[in-house]
Amino acid sequence: MTRPYDQLAPGELLRLARGRDQAAWNEIVRRYGPVVWRVAMAQRLDPADAKDVSQNTWFALAERLDRIREPERLAAWLATTARREALRVHDLRRLEARPSWWPDDLEDPDAECWPEPHVLRSTRDRLLWRAFAELPDRCRRLLGLLAHAPDLSYAQLGRALGMKAGSVGPARGRCLYELRRRLAVLGYGEETVG
Amino acid sequence: MTHSPQDLALLSELGALLRRCHPVPADVVAGARAAFAVAAGPPDWRWLERITDAPVPVRSGTPSFRFAGNDVRVQLELHRLPWRVRVIGLVTPVLDVEVRWPTGVRRVRPDDAGLFRVDDLPRGPLRLVIGETFATPWFGP
């Protein structure tokens, strides 16, 4: 019996994609697209540059499907490649003349943007969103990436976000603590607050 | 990384919420999906390799690239204008050049020295196909 694509392991998806299976590739994009996008946005590039970073990262994977030796590290490979692309674009932009009104530090979309009401389906959603949005920027970047790729190691997270590997573990603990503290204040369900 | 079951549950709930509240923009997803078919190219293409790993910024950040293989060489500069890109290149031997992007293509005939210029290209990854056969990998701004 054939299993649905969303239940396949990364290795199986890569094997199918090497056989030119577009649906397997689409599942890879669905699963890891947010990882690539979050790493690109973490570099504070403008949205057009972040789109370039994402596109270049996916082209890099499409051209190297045969060379991914450790499928279970696909998320880490994509995060590292996106980070490298983002740094490259960031360095190029620094050399360019920009208009005087160009912001030095673009807004983090998680900070200011309140989602459309229909996507916050419950009180729990609203409270979690509010608690997350109130976290310091560094915590939103770290937990936002970890939420999409919980298997990344401290070293991989550090590389993807430009943090020292030794600081990732303590930061993770502090950020989760801060998130839970805010959730508790807001009255979020005890069973998940832990 | 190993997480406690409580941490994993909270991260999983956060991940699901972020997927709904801040989804990857639809055009980014479409581009990522399209990369699969576009990257492969037809089977009879022969490949040029990039000579330097990273683009070398010259003249106030203009990145330049060099590719070679199968006795074909091309070097080019990417000039970024607001929202658009201009490519100026030199190809030897002198063969027609196609500049491709994920959703389109522009064909140009170089001058006798092999110089060519293509204006008004979209931002994002580009590839050259020289003499309809010799293709570069995708390269970015």
Q: How many Å is the maximal CA-CA distance in chain A?
A: 61
Tell me, what's the pLDDT at B68? 94
Tell me, what's the pLDDT at A108? 53
Please give the angle made by the CA atoms of A94, A96 and A102, to the nearest 5 degrees. Answer: 80
Six-digit token string for B28? 């980014």
Tell me, what's the pLDDT at A94? 67
The Cα B3–Cα B6 span in angstroms is: 8
Per-residue pLDDT of chain B (141 residues; tens, 9 = 90+): 678 999 999 999 999 999 888 889 999 999 999 888 877 777 788 889 888 755 555 555 678 899 999 999 999 998 887 778 899 999 999 999 999 987 788 999 999 999 999 998 988 889 999 998 999 988 876
Do residue A93 and residue B123 have CB atoms under 8 angstroms apart?
A: no
Give me the helix-helix angle, A22-42 and A154-161, nearest 10°.
70
- DSSP type of residue B22: S
Tell me, what's the pLDDT at A110? 55
Phi and psi, residue B26, nearest 5°: -60, -35
Share of chain A above pLDDT 90, in %: 46
Q: Terminus-to-terminus CA distance in chain B, angstroms?
A: 34
The Cα B136–Cα A176 span in angstroms is: 45
Q: Which of B91, B130, B13 lies closest to A122, judged by CA?
A: B13
Locus of tokens 């789109």: A51
Distances (CA, A) of A107 to A99, A162, B59: 18, 18, 30
**Cα-atom radius of gyration of chain A, to the nearest Å?**
18
- Which of B15, B32, B57 minimises the CB distance to A33? B32
Predicted model pTM: 0.74
Contacts with A120 from chain B: Cβ below 8 Å: 21
Q: How many other C-beta atoms lie within 10 A of the C-beta of residue A34? A: 22
Q: Which of B121, B51, B138, B56 lies closest to B87, judged by CA?
A: B121
- Which of B18, B38, B137 minimises the CB distance to A147? B18
A95 vs A139: which has the higher pLDDT = A139
The Cα B50–Cα B44 span in angstroms is: 19
Distance from CA of B18 to the nearest CA of A (A): 8
User: Residues B118, B108: contact at Cβ < 8 Å?
Assistant: yes
3-state secondary structure of A186: helix
For chain A, the helix, strand and coil percentages under 3-state DSSP, each to the nearest 5: 75, 0, 25
Chain A interface test: which of B3, B14, B50, B126 (most A C-beta within 10 Å) = B14
Dihedral sign (CA A168, A170, A171, A177): positive
DSSP letters for A98-158? --TTS-SSPPPHHHHPPPPGGG--SHHHHHHHHHHHTS-HHHHHHHHHHHH-TT--HHHHH
Query: Average pLDDT in the A12-28 region?
Result: 93
pLDDT band, very low/low/confident/very high, at A105 (cuts 50, 70, 90) = very low
Distance from CA of A95 to the nearest CA of B (A): 5
Query: Average pLDDT in the A146-152 region?
Result: 92
User: ipTM exceeding 0.85?
Assistant: no
